[in-house]
Amino acid sequence: MSRLQAEHLYKVFGRRPEEAIQRLEGGADRDELRADGTTAAVIDASFTVEPGQIFVVMGLSGSGKSTLLRMLNGLLDPTAGRVLFDGQDLTALTAGELRAVRSRKISMVFQHFALFPHRSVLENAGYGLEVQGVPRAEREHRATEALALAGLAGWENSWPDELSGGMQQRVGLARALATDADLLLMDESFSALDPLIRRDMQDQLLQLQKTLKKTIVFITHDLNEAMRLGDRIAVMRDGRIVQMGTAEDILVTPANDYVASFTQDVDRSRVLTAGAIMADAAPDAAPGTAPGGSSGEGPDGASARDVLAAAPAVVPADTPIIELFTPCSTSESPVAVVDDRGSLIGVVPRSRLLAVLGEPMTPSAAPAAARTARTTDADADDQGVAKAVARA
């Protein structure tokens, strides 16, 4: 079962919202409703979030992403549609029942820290537990553990104004972690931070996620942040989700020109992975054979063992392609891609690497680029590799 499900969510502000939904379903757009004094903030949004997944909602200001987030935990009632959390319909709960769910199962990390200046770091981190009625000794223990996870061990007795912006945001993250909530909602949580601190917080979140495996919905207007953090990404425009998929899906096959305009400045060498661009090892080798395994000879007499032995590098599937530039530029043989057991699952020839580093994708260009990326017969020359490395 999915941890979180949003089903046909609408949020309309203004007069006669039900009538506005009917008009939207009939093809009316936001501007037509706005002329009548009605604002459609979210229009027919549906998605699922699996346990342990980081689901990123990305869009510019006014796209509806923050409104959507607030409907997920009941801070805003949907005009239509429903939200299911572990199969429970949150939109059908009473106010008291919803407060209980929010206090124990759903935590939120805000953009502007939301710390109490008159409370210590430890007291701020334990505030959610205090609201739950957890005894003081237990909440201090759990808050101390959460602060340590967030990298703030030793700062428990400090005051918020003694901390940098990044450290204050870590306190907000620790407060969410201390409640051991199943779902974290993060609304532009790192956008108020300086770029270096922001990247550090992204690293911190990804490291925590490896251990805690929380289910996270993360709101951002920054596509680079979305692609770095998101297992899946939803792109919003004018209240609607216009594309949903992995970072690689959105980067390589944008759904429309609006999405393509976002991706044109993304460093695809740090987003795409070896597994995403690899070619089949056949016919030159039989895939699925570990270095010490059977020969598994293919039609041309080459085995997976031969491919692995000749490869300038052997990398796991999740390796960013930026790490393939050097081995691809120093050898005619393709880089070998292996699974968790060390078995060959594909190869990345030089020509394939260069093909995916071409011009930014547009909806019309994406299919052609995908066909080009599948071509592995001829390698590009070393000069072309050098240019690609310089551009990345």
- Domains in the chain, ordered, with CATH? 4-267 (3.40.50.300), 274-391 (no CATH)
61 vs 38: CA distance, rounded Å = 18
| Per-residue CA distances from 119 to 123, 127, 346 (Å) | 6, 9, 55
Around Cβ 266, how many Cβ atoms within 10 Å? 19
26-65 per-position pLDDT tens digit: 988 888 888 888 999 999 999 999 999 999 999 988 899 9
Q: Which helix (H) or strand (E) holds 109?
A: strand 106-109
Q: Report the SS3 class of residue 209.
A: helix
CA geometry: angle at 206 spanning 202 and 209, to 5°? Answer: 140
SS3 percent helix, strand, coil of the chain, rounded to 5, is 40, 20, 40
Burial class of residue 263 (count of CB atoms within 10 Å of its CB; 0-12, 13-18, 19+): buried
Average pLDDT over residues 203-219: 91
Average pLDDT over residues 156-176: 91
Band of the pLDDT at 290, cuts 50, 70, 90?
very low
**Among 337, 342, 286, 273, CA closest to 311:** 337
Taking the model in full, what pTM does it have? 0.79
230-281 per-position pLDDT tens digit: 999 999 999 999 999 998 889 888 999 989 888 887 878 888 889 888 988 7
Could you tell me if 283 and 300 are in contact, meaning their C-beta atoms sit under 8 angstroms apart? yes
Q: State residue 304's pLDDT score.
A: 84
Strands of the 232-237 sheet, one edge to the other? 106-109, 183-187, 215-220, 54-58, 232-237, 240-245
First and final CA of the chain: distance in angstroms? 40
182 vs 233: CA distance, rounded Å = 20
